[in-house]
Structure 1
Amino acid sequence: MVNENNNNNGEGLSSKSKLEQKLFTGIHGTPELKKTEKKKHLGEFRERVIKALTFDQVHEEGTYPEIKEAIRHPKARHLIISRKVDLNYARDYINLARHEGLSFTTVDDPDFEGPVALIVVSDEAVNEDDIYVQSRSDKLKELGVSEKIINTSRGSLLCLDCYQELAEKAPDEVEYYNKLSFLDKLLGKKCKSCENN
């Protein structure tokens, strides 16, 4: 989990004399509020973030429903993506944000640190308890989906048994897979999940 402590060079500045404050500001620049926190959230205050994805999550096939919900959140105003992200992977999020009237920005700063690659933010504090989206594989494991299906990439063909297992245990995931048809079998295609086993 991301550490959200505030280690700011400007702490205690108000207790200094006006001359000391001017000297400090002249040497170090104007102190920035919650600088460490903002480095980890693409330049935004943590309390304004509705949901966040890591680089690995953005580069997965398909979209995370939690981000779709966050984009539709009544206080959502901006979709912010790191410039290090290949925007082809984020295209669905960008299109949805535009459709919902959110602004879209890419950001880059050598001071940014951590795994956060995409955030949905508000102009005001929303103080969401958990802004980090659980990874697809962890979520599927918790739902009891077999490893062979978890390790099968989205967009793959699944046999009836694998498709039904996914539909029963993780119905939100079914839309990202195709059911192996009779014609597919005649053409020699096989279930990618069973092949991985």
Structure 2
Amino acid sequence: MDIFDIKEKTKINFQKTQSEKNLYLGEFKENVISALRKQDIDENIQYRFLELMKEKNAKLLKISRELEMKKIKKYIEYAEKINLNYRLVDGIFYTGDIGMVIVSQTPIEEERDVIFKNENEMYKEKKLSPFYWEAEGKKICNFHYKQLEKKFKEKENKFKKMGILDKILGYKCPICEKEKRKGDM
């Protein structure tokens, strides 16, 4: 093997590593438990992300300084509550749309997607209405409940099926209502 090939491969690997670190707020991907995109950080807390913060291997929550304090306040409060260190970071070389990362104490060997999927995306991936996410914990119509049973059984326990009495009392399926409003626009 040519010495120039080795040198070139080393250079390419170094560049890949640096670009990866710049994406994950200065962390190597193998040290990231989960990463939350900036657009997914709003007043609606991602509770599954909070659960990941409690992992025994979690040592640090890194937060981009570009985010508004009102959007990250709950995450900081929760980190303090569970005694997880957090740090606000900024860097001119940070690229991409990552707003928060949970850093592991030790590298995680398995290959995985560390980008956190919000609830809305999970429903869309299952080819369901994006309005399911907003209707969690509520009663939904027979049609939407059957769709859920077929396509996303794991979420079935998050919903209740509307009954005849609900219809008589004028209760409307929140998913149908949102879809109707979206169609009117």
**TM-score interval for Structure 1 and Structure 2 normalised by the shorter chain:** 0.5 to 0.7
The count of corresponding residues between Structure 1 and Structure 2 is: 159
Distance 1:167 1:105 in 2: 39
Q: 5+ unaligned residues in a row in structure 1: which ranges?
A: 9-33
- Give TM-score scaled by structure 1 length: 0.61
Which residue of 2 is the match for residue 132 of structure 1? 115
Q: 5+ unaligned residues in a row in structure 2: which ranges?
A: 1-11, 180-185
1:107 counterpart (78, 81, 89) = 89
| Alpha carbons of structure 1 residues 156 and 127: separation in structure 2 relative to 1, 3 Å | closer
| Alpha carbons of structure 1 residues 92 and 58: separation in structure 2 relative to 1, 3 Å | same
Which residue of 2 is the match for residue 119 of structure 1? 101
Which residue of 2 is the match for residue 44 of structure 1? 27
- 2:178 maps to amino acid: N
| C-alpha distance after superposition, 1:10-37 (max 9, x if no partner) | xxxxxxxxxxxxxxxxxxxxxxxx4322
1:7 counterpart (6, 15, 25) = 15
Which residue of 2 is the match for residue 59 of structure 1? 42
Identity of aligned residues (%): 25
| Alpha carbons of structure 1 residues 36 and 60: separation in structure 2 relative to 1, 3 Å | same
Note the aligned Cα RMSD (angstroms).
Answer: 3.7
Distance 2:21 2:133 in 1: 34
Which residue of 2 is the match for residue 161 of structure 1? 141
Which residue of 2 is the match for residue 171 of structure 1? 155
| Alpha carbons of structure 1 residues 160 and 118: separation in structure 2 relative to 1, 3 Å | same
Which residue of 1 is the match for residue 78 of structure 2? 96
| Alpha carbons of structure 1 residues 156 and 108: separation in structure 2 relative to 1, 3 Å | same
Written as runs of structure 1 = structure 2, the 5 A alignment for 1:68-87 is 68-87=50-69
Distance 1:68 1:128 in 2: 22
Contact 1:48 1:127 in 2 (8 A): no
- 2:134 maps to amino acid: R
**1:51 Cα deviation after fit:** 0.7
| Alpha carbons of structure 1 residues 5 and 164: separation in structure 2 relative to 1, 3 Å | farther
| C-alpha distance after superposition, 1:28-48 (max 9, x if no partner) | xxxxxx432221111122221
**Structure 1 ranges of 4+ moved more than 6 A:** none
Distance 1:174 1:107 in 2: 36
> Residue 60 of structure 2: SS of its match in structure 1?
strand
Distance 1:189 1:6 in 2: 59
Structure with more of its chain in helix, by fraction: 2
- Give TM-score scaled by structure 2 length: 0.65
- 2:155 maps to amino acid: P
Distance 2:74 2:158 in 1: 18
Distance 1:128 1:87 in 2: 33
Contact 1:52 1:132 in 2 (8 A): yes
> Residue 43 of structure 1: SS of its match in structure 2?
coil
Distance 1:49 1:151 in 2: 30
**1:167 Cα deviation after fit:** 7.9
- 2:81 maps to amino acid: H
